[in-house]
Structure 1
Amino acid sequence: VGMLNTAKIPANVDVVVAPSQVHAATVKASLRADVRVSGQDVWKQGNGAFTGETSAEMLKDLGAEFTLVGHSERREKGETNEIVAKKAAYALEKGLGVIACIGETKETREANQTVAYITEQLNAYAAEIKDWTNVVIAYEPIWAIGTGLTASPDQAQEVHASIRAWLNEKVSPEAADKTRVIYGGSVGAKNAPELSQKEDIDGFLVGGASLKPDFLQIINAQNPTANVGGAVNVAINGFGRIGRLVLRAAATNPLINIVAINDPFISTTYMEYMLEYDTVHGKFAGSLSHDDKHIFVNGKPIRVFNEMNPANIKWG
């Protein structure tokens, strides 16, 4: 939340976050107004004796404006195309935007049946949805979710073009022109710029990378050289108790990125020891290691200098 609140978000980019339902109200209250909140799932009808489910009405009460439906992790639990489509239709009826997920397995991809598979999913949605104005289609190849694998930009574009063609034929030319079709599947800062240049890719459904500073680069994928805001790079001069306190505080703060430490009297070996067995602030709870030029805090490298005069350092 803090990272997004300080980020530079282009005027032509819509950012929607989908926290767990129990945290949705807190996230909504804490976020800047131009970042909207989505549910991760929704039930297929209204309030009632449906233990553990979240209705569209409940999501509206929490301040959500969207909901995901049909995510692969929900389909793995046995949700059929028909159930997913009913969820989408009810959420739309109650005024939520719907991010309708589709995607194929690795076996389907290898059998060259991707388009046929996702067309079946889309047809199920079309049987229930009458107005596509507030629908976003999210193509997430299941084989690329959380695996580090990703569809190549050309593979993703091919599927997105087929979705656009389906919209034109089965819904309307207007829906084909206006419905956003977004890609999800190990999207990161490195592949987002090239993916974003494809004609039929209108955005991204981001998983793990949304919890990292890389998310700001994904938001700015069409302008990768922009200053995206977010975390501030900080260097520490002096590794006494104040310097160590700053480093500890920054270790759990996504808005502060410690990039360097300078102390002319302390080696990386002793820095690690001082941080781990700190008699002032207590034993460090994370992981620590070092080499000749860095100390690694929770796996992150921090450059160490031993200059008497900090002016001699090219901080970067």
Structure 2
Amino acid sequence: MEALLEKERELRLNKDDAGMQVLMLEIVSMCQNDSELITYLKILSRRKAQLRVPLKKTIQSVFLCKRMSIDGDLNLIVTGSEKTPNELTKFLNFYCRSFDLKTFDQVGNSVGNNQEKSFESGNVGEKTIQGSVGTNNSSSTNQNTNSNNSLEGSGYISSLKTHHLLKDLNISNTELKDTKHFQNLCAKEDEKRDNEKALNRIEGFINFSMQLLSEIVEGKFHLEEERVLITIILKDIFEKLKRPVDAMEIIFDVPVETFSSIKENTKIEYQLEILRLCVINFDWTKCELASKKIRKSYFKQNNHKIAETNFYKLMVGVC
């Protein structure tokens, strides 16, 4: 690891974004647990003159792949079945539409060119998702048996799996039109998981995400998009677990109106979601504060009638 960190310094000084992206993925792939992963992400984020694009993509990659790892657990708790074909697509669609980012746009190819081994993930690599997932330049689908066995049944897709997943995963900012690719990713574990174990894994993801927010993401303007992404996904999980107060709290204190890197329509949607959660929790003080932060002139200026209607419906609930 020390050798990799020394190489990271060289790439950082040379401002080599592509090389840094591959190296960061290699570093996180060597982490054995959440604590170690947070530690190294923190080290990378605090480096002087750190390259922002590779850092953003690494954080996005790790977070989204860990979210995928609990998809079956979450659906087991909510519906009694681990299979939900549209769940992952829904929140990734929201993410891509909201931020207009080329998430992972060069990661898949760069990792593929620098990593000879990959693991078999169902039909990953078998089919390209038209309009959203780029062409996979590698045909290698050999299974990394040792890595798979050590993780099987743990409910945790480690950073090593994250590293390999990116070889086949190249998400762009367009609509996701096919869920097959993600269904296969979410069907990794064969054994049945009971509710207690599933809840433990979900809580582990929540704790990791909260730590990621507090120690790495919050307070950094170049990670505003990641802060919105993480809080929206956590909010969704809390609602599914019937924890509406936690859902409200996780997004209420995010000052999205001050975020310069977020599009205004995304800010409005985020603020309306805050207001909705305040209403369903009957927290009228927070309702008043949330409603005052919404720029009402936006609705007419952008002819956004749906958002305007939703706003006034919520305000009726407040009154």
Q: Normalized against structure 1, the TM-score is what?
A: 0.32
The structure number with the bigger radius of gyration is 1
Which has the larger share of helix? 2
Q: Normalized against structure 2, the TM-score is what?
A: 0.31
Q: Which has the higher contact order (CA 8 A, sep 6+)?
A: 2
Which has the larger share of strand? 1
